[in-house]
Chain A
Amino acid sequence: MRIQVDPTTLAVLKGRLEQLADEMDANLFRSAFNPIIAEARDASHGLYHPATGETLIQGKNGLPIFVGTMAFAVKYLIDHLIQNDVTIQDGDVYLFNDPYDGGTHLSDFKLVRPYFSDGRIFCFIASVAHWHDVGGNVPGNYNPAATECHQEAVLIPPVLLINRGIVNQDIVSILQANSRLPTSLIGDLKAQIGALELGCNRMAQLLKDFDPGLVWQVCGQLKTIAESMMREHVSRLPNGFYSAEDWLDNDGTTASPLMVAVDLTISDANLVLDFSRTALQCSGPINVSKSTTIAACYVGLKHLFKDVPANSGVLSAIDFIIPDDSLLAATAPKPVGGYTETILRIIDVIFVAMSKADPAIVNGCAYGTINALSMSGYRQSGERWVLFSFFGGGHGGHPEGDGLNHGNAPISMATIPPLEILEAAYPIYFSKWALRPNSGGQGRYRGGLGAIYEIVLLEEHADVFLFGDRSRFGPPGVCGGGSGMVNSFLYEHDGNMIAPPLLSKATGIRLKKGQRVRLETPGGGGYGDSAERKEQDIANDILEGYVTDRLDVESIHD
């Protein structure tokens, strides 16, 4: 029987530990260089178990998907050190971006530092953040046509970046030499090192105020609580077998859709997520590693069971079946750059399957694609510019109301940069930045609206790449709700607006001065039968122009 920490100390220490991780997040967001960290908050910080790498505490404001993957990344480093018989020292920092064992994709650089107390590793403190450009075929590293990871970016295995406090400049030089934006890279790297330093200082203060053994007990107890809460939630769902299927447009190389399917078994307090019916590994960059798949499940479930603490205990309550040859179990050198599209689909099928178990806890699917758009070229001065941004869409309707218009993806808390900042920084201007009427799926509660963005080039030439999805299969509604409108990307060519062959996965588009691209993003899926929608809500939709013509909308969602 585990000794319980007294309730006051438990509450107090939980708050202190969360504050420590949140502060590291905030520090990096403020000091980072590239907007994907500073504005889109594509980063995360936490404390991890010294032997198992399990997540002890994770900041609340980082990218939710990292909450799950970082535990695998730290475990990977621990195994790597053991295999190579390396002893990690106080003041060491390891750096790597391996996407297979560490999760996610090559843009995400993990920095891991041990925290020592009484001569032993008390925990690992880690920082992960999305760097702007680290080589590969496409500026910004979203290469929709990659067939192996080497075409996506440079791959760094765990290397000793800082040796007992001394930075190895050779590693920094290699990284900078492989980036189209070396200044941004060094700025982000320094900011991450700063965040780790801050975490260590705060940890030192914490262990001055509290006994290390007590801190350990609290971490253990928080894990137990998370697991038992998760099981409590599961046990309240009716026992049964619930399935859902959804599709990705294509893998970026061939036009066939790929299925993502989940079979969910609930028996009392046990939950099994079986992905056996999902497509096999593909040649294009929408493969994801097993650790990323598990992390995505974590995100999907945490959206449904919001009150469960964010630590490894959540996952202890779940069993996964993911075949080794699955799209969801990628190994080197399969390309994984577009992992976001696949994990968004994993979350969508979890929502749809869960809606069959309990309609009261779910929502229609969100827009389901990050639409990573890269536009780049050279200014007349010869200076290189790379515009890179993610775009938003609608959230699903839910039991309490319509979905949020123009929200961020379920896997992130990203904000979009102000269009005025983008116009001031790059030779482009927007001719439209607006909600997309009729894009929300019908239902008793309508899906939120997606957006329309139209960008005009002001320089002579630009290369355009897009990594998106949902151009063929709109975000599904739940409990009778309709799908949101599909994603649409068009670019100007010989006076016409045309779609790329693989729709939302576009590469090699050359834009001339004055030409435009137009992105229309999906709305969210609806919730419940649209016949039950209140007259007042229908009238309001027409008044505000969220829906312009009901007949038109119905035909779109057929």
Chain B
Amino acid sequence: MTELSAQTAIGIDVGGTYTDLFLYDAKNCECSVVKVVTDHAAQANGIEVGLKNCNVQLNNVGTIVHGTTVGTNALLQRTGARVGLITTKGFGDVLEMRRRDRPQTWGLWGRFDPIIPRHRRLEVEERTLSDGKVIQPVHEDEIKEAGQRLLDMGAESVVVFFINSYANQQNETYAGDILREIWPNEYVSTSSEILPEIREYERASTSAINAYLQPILGPYLTDLGDRLHRHHIDTQILVVQSNGGLTSTRMACREPVRTTLSGPAAGVIGAAYIAHQSGYDNVITCDMGGTSFDVSLIADGSASMVAETAIDFGMVTRSPMIEIVTIGAGGGSIANVDAGGILEIGPESAGSEPGPACYGKGNGTPTVTDANLVLGRINPLTPIGMGIGQLDLDAAKRAIVSHIAKPLGLDLMAAADAIIRVANSKMAGAIRLVSIERGYQPEAFVLMPFGGGGALHAGALIKDVGLSKAVIPRYPGATSAFGCVVADIRLDRVKTINTLLKHLDINRLNEESERLHLDGMRNLEASQLSVKELTVYLELDMNYVGQTHTITVQLPQNLVSVGLIRKAFEQTYRRIYSDVLEGIPVRVLNMRMVMIGKRPEFDLSLFLNAKVESTQTKTIKQRDVWVEGEWQSVRVYQRNQLNAGTVIVGPALIEQNDATVFVDDKLTGTADTFGNLTLELQ
């Protein structure tokens, strides 16, 4: 059992550029942050290096929580396992038929390679109708034969996907049981175990991706556990899921599809936690890394969720996850002038390898980071993170002059300024997308930037979108690792009901919810996670009869009746579409259950005296920065020198190891007692 009191908790986030560790020593009330370069060949190596470099006794570690990108990377690079699929006769191509789409509106040169090739998708006789009636049962011999053929083809995992299994899983379950008798490892799954929800392509894709990742994530976590053992850490590893909640290693290995956005979700949870403790429950988080700018919305303390996402064209996973809107506007995003003479930022990115022009590693095209450098907002002598050395200011200037300034007829500084303004406007568009476009008023929200680059742009973003203020956490670059330490435990379950609301049998609903609840509890118990306080809530996916899209309606806690469900539906519908439709029957498509196990709270004031290895000088310096069309000499502060209550009048810069904060003209920065720096309009 994991016990959090008086022990050390370690959060580990492996990102594209850096591996961050956040260590919280509860006995001595201390926390610290370690940042090392990610080892792409073997992520566990980077984690080991980080553990060796931290100043914490590792024999008292109670919890290790991991935000991982192993699954995402395997998907994007197509390095997952060799999967076999057994499916209903006539439907072997569901994965490749997709939903009959194409990647781009304009241009017909699309391409799609299914993660399970056609020759490893075998059809068997069986059929269930949409009402759950089995019109063709499964033959044991046929399943065994198909399984054996897949093994002969070298399949490492197998998934059974039958049409309408959401309505009756009997055939699928039976086939799965037969396969488990002959399959040499535990990587046998059925689509109704992973996602008992209507929509064949989405269910097939989610299950296939799960089977594709099972043989990848399992060995990785086992290896990581062995390495931790060598450091005398014997607690189990918890994994952050895409829904922002934790799960056990065992569950993560069985359903890796739920962890494909593990790292980014941890960041949102970390930011939401800091915001909540600091008194803000309406927050827009933004994470600006090397290649992308990720935005999420937190309303009334809860992160906004989505039911489905596509990691690449046609790679759909359907599982509740934190909604993260990603646009190609990171520090490494390339600025260019298109054929029509319009300045564009991204989506192409120089990433961290070769990186911006100023890294001097062979990229000659200008990036957002290059523009920030030329404008004096980044210190060329102390770039973020280790291992980059000094930045090459002249290379950045050359890139901007030849690719932007000349084609647009601007001078160097105007061109650099234009890059930042267009990038800011793109980021503002993403923020509007999650806020205004969803019916939320920006004035009610604060912006919480994290990651390496967000704090440079925060001031401009609150001005553009009309957010009330920006709150920059003490360690923007370690927010994801921190999120691992404070995330709750969460379990999501779904079941398709598909009935008219007026025919909804409340007793059956309660029975189903009880069944989901028991199933969830069994999973929690099996995972050996200790939970302080367990909250369970029910949601229904509902719509008007005739609509194909549903809205998710949270049910009141007690005394659920058809009338109350209708009221909750109409309230939600009105919030989204500003009107309800009289006289049209309402349908209940799916029931969802969410179980949340609360974790103990973390005292943010610990941030104020955290141990961080620092090479920073203590004196306040001046530096020339381009602000509002001219060079101004602005004060440069060190973040670790700021005491609570310190007020900084913009324009000013605040430097720290993992980020730079730019206090824009007409803004004031105030350090609070939680270690945050708050930016507001003067």
Contacts and interface: CB of A to CB of B under 8 A. Distances in A.
A31 B341 CA distance: 37
B119 A11 contact: no
Interface string B58-96: 000000000000000000000000000000001111101
A451 B97 contact: yes
Given A187-B581, A190-B579, 4 more contacts: A15-B429, A38-B547, A404-B110, A413-B102
A410 B108 contact: yes
Contact of A23 (B106, B109, B118, B437): B437
B101 interface: yes
Contacts of B498: 424
Contacts of A38: 547-549
A380 interface: no
Nearest to B117: A544
A30 B166 CA distance: 24
Contacts of A307: 338-340
A183 B584 CA distance: 7
Contacts of B437: 23, 26
B674 to A, nearest CB: 33
Interface string A298-335: 00001100111100000000000000000000000000
B98 interface: yes
Nearest to A399: B109
Nearest to B548: A38
A203 interface: no
B501 to A, nearest CB: 15
B111 A424 contact: no
A421 B581 contact: no
Contacts of B96: 405-406, 435
Contacts of A228: 340
Interface in B567-595: 576-579, 581, 584
Contact of A190 (B98, B200, B581): B581
Contact of B107 (A7, A303, A432, A543): A303
A433 B94 contact: yes
A171 interface: no
Nearest to B341: A225
Interface stretch (A76-84, A145-153, A390-398): A390-398
A12 B107 CA distance: 25
A433 B547 contact: no
A7 B343 contact: yes
5 smallest beta-carbon distances between A and B, as pairs = A392-B100, A225-B340, A416-B100, A432-B90, A415-B99
Nearest to A302: B106
A407 B119 contact: no
Interface in A328-362: none
SS class, residues of chain B in contact with chain A: loop
7 contacts: A10-B343, A307-B338, A398-B109, A403-B108, A404-B108, A416-B99, A434-B90
A61 B340 CA distance: 22
B13 interface: no
A408 B100 contact: yes
Contacts of A493: none
A435 B93 contact: yes
Nearest to B409: A7
A453 B80 CA distance: 31
A546 interface: yes
A232 B339 contact: yes
Contacts of A406: 93, 96-98, 100
B503 to A, nearest CB: 13
Contacts of A191: 577
B109 A420 contact: no
A306 B546 contact: no
Contacts of B548: 35, 38-39, 417, 421
A391 B579 CA distance: 33
Nearest to B90: A432
Interface stretch (B18-26, B295-303, B420-428, B450-458): B420-428
A10 B432 CA distance: 19
Contacts of B342: 7, 10-11, 14, 225
A197 interface: yes
Interface string B415-456: 001100110011001001100110000000000000000000
B130 A32 contact: no
A33 B339 contact: no
A32 B547 contact: yes
B584 A420 contact: no
Contacts of A414: 100
Interface of A: 7-8, 10-12, 14-16, 19, 23, 26-27, 29-35, 38-39, 60-61, 64, 181, 183-184, 186-187, 190-191, 194, 197, 205, 225-226, 228-229, 232, 302-303, 306-309, 363, 366, 391-392, 395-396, 398-408, 410, 413-421, 423-424, 429-435, 451, 454, 458, 543-546
Contacts of A433: 90-91, 93-94, 97
Given A405-B112, A433-B93, A454-B90, A419 B100 contact: no
B102 A408 contact: yes
Contacts of B7: none
Contacts of B421: 8, 12
A423 B408 contact: no
Most buried by B among A191, A302, A420, A429: A420
Interface string B210-235: 00000000000000000000000000
Contacts of A415: 99-101
B104 interface: yes
Contact of A420 (B92, B200, B544): B200
B238 to A, nearest CB: 35
Nearest to B313: A404
A19 B433 contact: yes
Given A11-B343, A11-B344, A15-B425, A34 B90 contact: no
B163 interface: yes
B680 interface: no
A419 B163 contact: yes
A414 to B, nearest CB: 7
A546 B97 CA distance: 13
B651 to A, nearest CB: 19
Contacts of B273: none
Contact of B90 (A16, A61, A398, A430): A430
Given A14-B342, A420-B163, A404 B105 contact: no
Given A408-B100, A434-B92, A400 B109 contact: yes
B129 interface: yes
Most buried by A among B91, B130, B429: B130
A72 B172 CA distance: 54
B198 interface: yes
A26 B439 CA distance: 13
B200 A396 contact: no
B339 A229 contact: yes
Contacts of A190: 579, 581
Contacts of A308: 340
B544 A33 contact: yes
Most buried by B among A15, A16, A302: A15
Contacts of B338: 307
B199 A418 contact: yes
B100 A407 contact: yes
Contacts of A545: 118-119
Nearest to B345: A11
Contacts of A405: 96-97, 112
B429 A396 contact: no
Given A8-B421, A406-B96, A407-B100, A187 B119 contact: no
Contacts of B425: 11-12, 15-16
Nearest to A229: B340
A187 B544 contact: yes
Contacts of A12: 421-422, 425
Contacts of A400: 109, 111
A194 B100 contact: no
Interface in B140-164: 163-164
B655 interface: no
Nearest to B437: A23
